[in-house]
A and B are shown apart, each in its own frame.
Chain A
Amino acid sequence: EMQLVESGGGLIQPGGFLRLSCAASGFTVSNNYMSWVRQAPGKGLEWVSIIYFGGSTYYADSVKGRFTISRDNSKNTLYLQMDSLRAEDTAMYYCARGSFKSGLLDVWGQGTTVTVSS
């Protein structure tokens, strides 16, 4: 069974940093297109970042320059390094498996909550 499990969320002050992890089982992260998607309280889903199986990375304008997506092939784990956090980054963060140039996200984790507040 394919599964994604996120961890690393928490309460952090504005300007702080956090690293989210997403452990995969049942498939290989490095052979897939992996995304991070978030949902702020009372808002809709927002795509955050993607890493292609070839290693290319792309980001939403709202996080470009502050967030970094990466993976550890030996641990079959996806990461999201979040720096210079802002109140508007407060959200539930999901990792998901996608496809090349597609909005198709077929495996999702349960999410991890990030709260940016003083």
Chain B
Amino acid sequence: QSVLTQPPSASGTPGQRVSISCSGSSSNIGSYTVNWYQHLPGTAPKLLIYTNNQRPSGVPDRFSGSKSGTSASLAISGLQSDDEADYFCAAWDDSLNGVVFGGGTKLTVL
């Protein structure tokens, strides 16, 4: 049972826009910034969005993040087949004194 709650799956067709939600509480998302990771099996997770809505260099602007209260979301526009991956949200948690992750959302491009 992950501290942050994400839908287990999401899907869309090429070119569509999809959104993935991440719900937490006052001790994590409510107090700290949210970060998103893209993870392909057998590879290192890749930082996709940091500090709620910032993109690291090299991440296309098709990826965007937002946060409101104790929830956050990742949006992917212009969906591409390469976007098929697992997506995780993460934040610091004061109660646990550590990083908490969402359970991950498996994105399928139909």
Of A45, A94, A102, A106, chain B has the most CB atoms within 10 Å of the CB of A45
Q: How far is the CB of B97 from chain A (nearest CB, A)?
A: 5
The contact of A58 among B33, B98, B101, by CB within 8 Å, is B98
Which chain B residues have a beta carbon within 8 Å of chain A's beta carbons? 2, 32-35, 37, 39, 43-47, 50-51, 56, 86, 88, 90-92, 94, 96-104
**Are A110 and B98 in touch, CB under 8 angstroms?**
no
Given contacts A58-B97, A94-B45, whether A45 and B104 have CB atoms under 8 Å apart is: yes
Q: A47-B98, A50-B99, A58-B98 are in contact. Are A101 and B44 (CB under 8 A)?
A: no
Instruction: Report the minimal beta-carbon distance from B63 to chain A, rounded to whole angstroms.
Output: 15
Query: Chain A: interface residue count, which band?
Result: 20 to 34
Query: In whole Å, how far is A105's beta carbon from the nearest beta carbon of chain B?
Result: 7
Contact of A45 with B51 in the complex, beta carbons under 8 Å = no
**Distance in angstroms between the alpha carbons of A42 and B74 in the assembled complex:** 22
Distance (whole angstroms) from the CB of B32 to the closest CB of chain A? 7
Residues in A with CB closer than 8 Å to B35 are 102-105
Q: What CA separation (Å) do A85 and B103 show in the bound complex?
A: 23
Given contacts A45-B37, A104-B33, contact A111 B44 (CB under 8 A): yes
Most chain-A Cβ atoms within 10 A of its Cβ — which of B86, B92, B96? B92
Residues of A with C-beta under 8 A to B100: 47, 103
* A35 close to chain B: CB less than 8 A: yes
A36 to chain B, nearest CB (A): 10
Instruction: Tell me which residues across on chain A come within 8 A of B88, comparing CB atoms.
Output: 44-45
Contacts of A45 in B (CB 8 A): 37, 39, 45, 88, 90, 101, 104
Known: A44-B102, A45-B39, A60-B98. Contact between A102 and B44, CB under 8 A?
no
A87–B101 Cα gap in the complex (Å)?
22
Q: Is the CB of A109 within 8 A of B104?
A: no
Complex Cα gap A50–B100 (Å): 12
* A61 sits at the interface (CB 8 A): yes
With a cutoff of 8 Å between Cβ atoms, the chain A residues found around residue B96 in the complex are 60-61
Q: Quick check: A108 and B101 within 8 Å, CB to CB?
A: no
Q: Give A101 to B31 CA distance when docked, in angstroms.
A: 10
Provide the bound-state CA to CA distance between A94 and B103, in Å. Answer: 17
